[in-house]
């Protein structure tokens, strides 16, 4: 019972902080993450809850980027290794325990109606448009789920991922090998 009350209090504080951020003009538009060698931006409206690394239960005969399923706060979620899916290359080697400690599972927002979480290597934080010096539209032959790429003041390239478009892609939804 105490855990439920603590969770409700946390959710209430979080809702208050989000409302305050909206009214104070804070313009954090994306959740910035790293996966593999790449840096990605997830629209805040499409990203859901962030979970610590939870080893998934493997599912046979699936694509290499589909790591399996995991119970995250009582819900069954498919776990996708973002770096492998985005690059289209073979699965990355298993990380050390120290590296895995920084890994997170970013669930897709419930409104997208896909019980899926993306494995990322590291959370970087929140980013707004003002954090970048330049943007470039995706190439014409880029997947529909890739948004603009942005360059920050340090010259690092960040790729926006439209999680809503990703959640509707047949390639993403077809986990069978």
Domain ranges of the chain: 26-173
pLDDT of residue 83: 93
CATH number of 26-173: 2.40.50.180
Q: Give the tokens for residue 119.
A: 């494995």
Length of the chain, please? 177
Q: Facing residues of 123 across strands?
A: 33
Distance CA 130, CA 106 (A): 24
Please report the pLDDT score of residue 16 as a whole number.
62
Task: Answer whether 47's CB lies under 8 Å from 106's CB.
Answer: yes
**CB neighbour burial string for 44-69, b if at least 16 within 10 angstroms, e if fewer:** eebbbeebebbebeeeeebbebbbbb
Cα–Cα distance, 39 to 119 (Å, whole number): 13
CB atoms within 10 A of CB 8: 10
Q: What is the pLDDT of residue 15?
A: 60
> What is the pairing mode between strands 146-152 and 75-81?
unpaired
| pLDDT value, residue 78 | 96
Torsion sign, CA atoms 166, 171, 172, 173: positive
Per-residue pLDDT of the chain in tens (177 residues, 90 and over written 9): 566 676 566 666 656 655 655 555 556 699 999 999 999 999 999 999 999 999 999 999 999 999 999 999 999 999 999 999 998 876 555 567 777 788 999 999 999 999 999 999 999 999 999 999 999 998 888 899 999 999 999 999 999 999 999 999 999 999 987
Tell me whether residue 127 is exposed, middle or buried, using C-beta atoms within 10 angstroms of its C-beta: 0 to 12, 13 to 18, 19 or more.
Answer: buried
């Amino acid at each position: 019972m105490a855990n439920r009350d603590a969770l409700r209090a946390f959710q209430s504080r979080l809702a208050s902080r989000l409302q305050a951020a909206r009214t104070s003009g804070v313009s954090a538009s994306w959740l910035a993450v790293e996966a593999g060698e790449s840096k990605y931006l997830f629209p805040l409206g499409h990203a859901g809850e962030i979970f610590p690394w939870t080893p998934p239960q493997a599912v046979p005969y699936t694509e290499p980027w589909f790591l399996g399923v995991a119970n995250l706060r009582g819900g069954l979620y498919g776990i996708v290794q973002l770096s492998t899916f985005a690059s289209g290359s073979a699965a990355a080697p298993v990380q050390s325990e120290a590296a895995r400690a920084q890994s997170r599972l970013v669930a897709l927002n419930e409104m997208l109606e896909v019980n899926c979480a993306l494995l990322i290597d590291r959370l970087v934080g929140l980013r707004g448009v003002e954090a970048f010096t330049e943007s470039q539209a995706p190439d014409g032959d880029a997947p529909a789920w890739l948004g603009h790429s942005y360059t920050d003041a340090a010259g690092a390239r960040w790729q926006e991922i439209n999680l809503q478009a990703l959640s509707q892609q047949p390639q993403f939804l077809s986990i069978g090998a």
